[in-house]
Amino acid sequence: MRVVLTGGGTGGHIYPAVAIARQCEAESANNAFLYIGSEKGLEARLVPQEGLPFESIDITGFRRKLSMDNVKTIMRFFKGVTRSKKLLTEFKPDVVIGTGGYVCGPVVYAAAKLGIPTMIHEQNAIPGLTNQFLSRYADTVAVSFKGSEGAFRKGKRVVYTGNPRATSVQSANRERGFASLGIPMNSKVVLITGGSRGASVINQAMIGMASRLEQLEDVHFVYVTGDIYFEKTREAVLQMLGTMPNRLHIVPYINNMPEVLAAASLIVNRAGASFLAEITSLGIPSILIPSPNVTNNHQEANARELEEAGACRMILEKELTEERLWKDITDIVQDPALQASMSRESKRLGKPDSAAVILKEIHRLTTRM
């Protein structure tokens, strides 16, 4: 099968696409892939690392207020459609799959106009602008959250599949996760991160908590700062404490996140949909700090799904302080019964077969078309 994947901007859009490719490979060795992304997006670095052929188009997203930049974006969109049609005609895919981000717009639109079977995958509880637009043209809309099917127009084929990233973490090697961090096997690990790019407000809370970490015996803390915040965060901790605590590990980025997640006892992060798919697949308790700077405040909607089930605690960014975060961490880490309950409810929400469900829909599409 010949598959074009597109999606970008954040790891939350990129890794589900990679997960779909891996599921295709697990079923059959007779596949060919092409990933089309933005030349300036994170996908330009991550996708080649995954061994997938990569081509780029020049595209930007719309601003939410009137701006001349939006006129330029429209021009880039149509140029992107032209470029996408050229790439698709040369590659001759059986199916085109978009996993989110504005780069999907011209690629999936071009595929639809060429009569190529198309699928878009919406990771969030509230659909983004690009997928709302593309749902008019795509043959199938796949959704991650059960109950969000109604967010798309009536008459459209909408399928609850879960997020394919959930499948990727199922085979993660826990032992390698500990080894990559330099942490003894079976230690308690609290992983704190702000997403693939990092988050300044979460980093500030991490810095503020650093002096308290020794209060929790036998617990290792892993701070994932994001590349641009790494040196600043590390230097702030050193300046405050004079030396780096033995059980504090500060890193800019984690390339083997599934393995590290498998080693974690508690996660603190944003509420991006792919991340939630990973932790619910593994059944990890979490403290979620939704980003308020996203379309339709969809991360808060994502987090509330877990909060209402008892799988997480949620802290709104405007309420985030080092004291509040430290209290929630200690409440969970020091209460085995609470941790077990949160883990159980998290696991109940997981859908580890999601990549297989998506592949089944791909087969339906390509056979029908």
Binding site per annotation, positions for UDP-N-acetyl-alpha-D-glucosamine? 10-12, 124, 196, 254, 299
Question: What integer is the mean pLDDT of 357-362?
Answer: 96
CA-wise closest residue to 168 among 28, 17, 51: 17
Binding site per annotation, positions? 10-12, 124, 196, 254, 299
Question: In the structure, how many helices (H) and strands (E) does the chain have?
Answer: 15, 13
Return the pLDDT at 146. Answer: 85
Beta-carbon count within 10 A of 147 CB: 10
Distance set, CA 176 to CA 11, 73, 283 (Å): 21, 44, 19
Distance of CA 251 to the CA centre of its chain: 19
Q: How confident is the model at residue 18 (pLDDT cuts 50, 70, 90)?
A: very high
Mean pLDDT computed over every residue of the chain = 93
Return the pLDDT at 328. Answer: 98
Return the pLDDT at 74. Answer: 81
Question: What integer is the mean pLDDT of 91-115?
Answer: 96
Token pair recorded at residue 45:
């670095």
Q: How confident is the model at residue 155 (pLDDT cuts 50, 70, 90)?
A: confident
Q: Do 2-163+352-368 and 169-349 fold alike per CATH? A: yes
C-alpha span between 349 and 353 (Å, rounded): 12
| pLDDT score of 216 more than 60 | yes
Q: How confident is the model at residue 40 (pLDDT cuts 50, 70, 90)?
A: confident
**Residues 10, 14, 319: CA angle, nearest 5 degrees:** 35
In CATH, 169-349 is 3.40.190.10: no
C-alpha span between 242 and 237 (Å, rounded): 8
The pLDDT tens digits for 289-340 are 999 988 789 899 999 999 999 999 999 999 999 999 999 999 999 999 999 9
Return the pLDDT at 178. Answer: 97
Domain boundaries, given as residue ranges, for the chain:
2-163+352-368, 169-349
Q: How confident is the model at residue 196 (pLDDT cuts 50, 70, 90)?
A: confident
Return the pLDDT at 198. Answer: 87
Return the pLDDT at 62. Answer: 57
Q: How confident is the model at residue 11 (pLDDT cuts 50, 70, 90)?
A: confident
| CATH fold label, 2-163+352-368 | Rossmann fold (3.40.50)
